[in-house]
Amino acid sequence: MRQLSLPLIVIVVGLAATPAIAAQQPPVSLSINNSSAAPSKDTSSAPLTGTTEVDMLRGEVEALRAIVDRQSRLLDELDRRLQAVTSTNSEAATVASPTAAVPEDAAPVAVQKPTDEALEKKVDEFVRRWGKLRLTGDIQARYEGFFNQGFDLPVDVPARNRLRVRVRAQLAGDIGSNFDWGIRLASGSFNNPISSQQSLTDFYNRKPIGIDRAYLHFDTKSDGTNLELWMGKFEAPWKRTALTFDEDLQPEGLAQSLWVDVSKDGLLRSVEFTAWQLPYRERAIGADAVLFGGQVLTDWKLSENWGLTLAGTFHDFEQVNVIPVAVAVAPGVVNAGFEYGTTNTVVINPFTNLPEYRSDYRVIDAIVELRNAGPGKDGRWPIVLRADWIHNTSAFNNQKDGGQLEAIIGRRQEQGDWSFDYSFWKVEREAFPSVFMDSEMLIQTNSVTHSARARYMLRKQVEFAWRYFAHRRLATTAADNRWTNHLQFDVQYRF
């Protein structure tokens, strides 16, 4: 628009200004001859020459040029003001009318800047109510093969191959500085508390997902002495191995822990006392079945590269005979008990005609763990040596002990990390309630098992794992006692 209006303004102004300029200019007469004489002072009667006309036209052009320059500067100033007003109106919450006049001395327009105060209030309210949320979990795919099955049966059992998946997802949050909560969902059968693996079978039916954790946790987070409390379904807060409770098992009830800082530089660094009250069968009539227990754990610093942990634990299973009547239930019945059997001694009560354990279970558990930073300074090859021994003080016979030895080298933190471990497992029949022990063992008690595993971090969150087991019964009356070969290959993604 400015390009079209500028010539038009020049022409109009020029036509209007020409008479005025001509009227203001007195006629000038020049006398030009060979002697270059000075101009005559009397020019009233002298006719206009060609040179005089050219000079007059040149003056008019110069005057018009000055006017055009002024008009151009005026247009530039108006355009600058228009740009400023347009920019201001686009940022304002309300746009002024396009026909409104903008005086030169107008005050700056007050711009209403958009704010996120409402959104911030909603976020603050959400954080106050639910805490800072964290989503974690893993997805695992597994191939599993069993060969030379049968143990002490008179004939071999054909090999078995299966595919399995595991899915776990936990949402957790902080409430203030001392409380936190968590809810975790996991795959797996509702009648198998020691495994969240789900076999790919059953005619492509949907796989069950259940509440694996649901807890509230209090932590004083104080120096010197620290108190923690748990209520709900949570990860066991005491130190354990799969010799007693499978790592997938999430106990339910109450737990308390008191940690004491002994020394920063001394040999003994800290002491921790933990107690728990975990009902595993609540009954409307009769006493509830509850696990009471406690642990004393000490942490030692032997040298710059060596550390030691010693833990002593006691488990008291009250009303333990509710377990035998709940084993080998139909898989389709939800929360009916255990879909697998028990390897402890079971007898039939002649008065009730119900199955019950031959032994009670009040078990001592002692763990020794020795740690070394490993060779090199990059920390990629730490070494862990662990021994776990259990002893049932209430067994009806001498088959009351069990033990596990483990050696681990390597870590599982960054891309390219390797970890290798070996485990030896030997447990007598009455050492511990078998229904809670390591699910990877084909037989939990009265068994001997060797296992070796290699794990590799393809990415920081992606892990490959290979594991081999050799299982056999510890004692049998049969003529044959074969080793069963058990293979696993896992691919796991953690988030």
What is the average per-residue pLDDT within 78-93?
A: 60
pLDDT at 311 over 60: yes
| Integer Cα distance of 258 and 218 in angstroms | 12
CA angle 178-182-185, nearest 5°?
175
Predicted pLDDT of residue 366: 98
Give the per-residue pLDDT at 54.
Answer: 59
Read off the pLDDT band of 85 (50, 70, 90).
low
Question: Which of 84-98, 115-129, 133-147, 188-202 has the weakest average pLDDT?
Answer: 84-98
CB atoms within 10 A of CB 318: 16
Q: Is the pLDDT of residue 440 over 80?
A: yes
Tens of pLDDT, residues 17-26: 444 433 444 4
Residue 355 has pLDDT above 80, yes or no: yes
Tell me the mean pLDDT in the region 458-482. Answer: 96
Asked whether 420 and 449 are in contact (CB, 8 A), the reply is no
Least confident of 52-66, 351-365, 427-441, 466-480: 52-66
Percentage of the chain exceeding pLDDT 90: 68
| Rg over CA atoms, the chain | 45
Beta bridge partners of 276: 255, 293
Q: Does the pLDDT at position 300 exceed 80?
A: yes
Q: Which residue has the higher pLDDT, 257 or 123?
A: 257
Residue type, 69: D
Pairing of the two strands 306-317 and 133-147? unpaired
Q: What angle do CA 246, 252, 256 make, to 5 degrees?
A: 100
**N residues, the chain:** 495
pLDDT score recorded for residue 90: 53
Asked whether residue 494 carries a pLDDT value surpassing 60, the answer given is yes
Question: What is the value of pTM for the model shown?
Answer: 0.75
Question: If residue 448 lies in a helix (H) or strand (E), which one and from where to where?
Answer: strand 447-457
3-class SS at 31?
coil
Encoded amino acid at 83, one letter: Q
What Å distances lie between residue 148 and 182, 441, 442, CA to CA? 43, 15, 13
> What letter represents residue 369's amino acid?
E
Nearest to 355 by CA among 341, 366, 368, 370: 341
Mean pLDDT computed over 231-236: 98
Task: Map 302-346 to HEC letters.
Answer: CCCCEEEEEEEEEEEECCHHHCHHHCCCCCCCCCCCCCCCCCCCE
Is residue 158 classed as helix, strand or coil in its secondary structure? coil
Nearest CA among 29, 25, 48 for reference residue 40: 29
Task: Determine the pLDDT at residue 36.
Answer: 39
Please name every residue paired with 456 in a beta bridge, in sequence order, or none if there are none. 418, 464
pLDDT in tens, 100-134: 444 555 555 444 554 567 887 887 777 777 778 99
Task: Provide the 8-state DSSP code for 331.
Answer: T
Contact 423/387 with Cβ under 8 angstroms?
A: no
**Distance between CA atoms of residues 495 and 462, nearest Å:** 9
Q: Is the pLDDT of residue 33 over 70?
A: no
Distance CA 160, CA 173 (A): 43
Higher-scoring residue by pLDDT: 38, 219: 219
> Running DSSP on this structure, what letter comes out for residue 183?
E
Could you tell me how far CA 334 lies from the centroid of its own chain? 30
3-state secondary structure of 246: coil
For residues 392-410, average pLDDT: 98
**Average pLDDT over every residue of 229-255:** 98
> For the chain, what percent of residues have pLDDT higher than 70?
81
Q: Residue 349 half-sphere exposure, CB side, CA atoms within 13 Å? A: 12
Distance from C-alpha of 469 to C-alpha of 387, rounded to nearest angstrom: 19
Mean pLDDT on 52-70: 70
212 falls in which pLDDT band (50, 70, 90)? very high
| 425 CB-near residues (< 8 Å, 6+ apart) | 243, 403, 404, 438, 441, 447, 448, 449, 450, 451
3-class SS letters over 399-431 = CCEEEEEEEEEECCCCCCCEEEEEEEEEECCCC
What does the mean pLDDT of the chain come to?
A: 85
Q: What is the pLDDT of residue 301?
A: 97
Q: How confident is the model at residue 77 (pLDDT cuts 50, 70, 90)?
A: confident
The Cβ of residue 371 has, within 10 Å, a number of other Cβ atoms equal to: 17
Q: Report the distance separating Cα 255 and Cα 292, nearest Å.
A: 10
The reported pLDDT for the residue numbered 3 is 44
Query: Does the pLDDT value for residue 208 go beyond 80?
Result: yes
Cβ neighbours, 10 Å, residue 175 = 17
The pLDDT value given to residue 402: 98
H helices, E strands: number in the chain: 3, 19
Pick the more confident residue, 428 or 156: 428
First vs last Cα of the chain: how many Å apart? Answer: 60
Q: In 197-288, where do the E strands start and end? A: 198-199, 209-219, 225-233, 252-261, 268-281
The pLDDT value recorded for residue 252 is 98
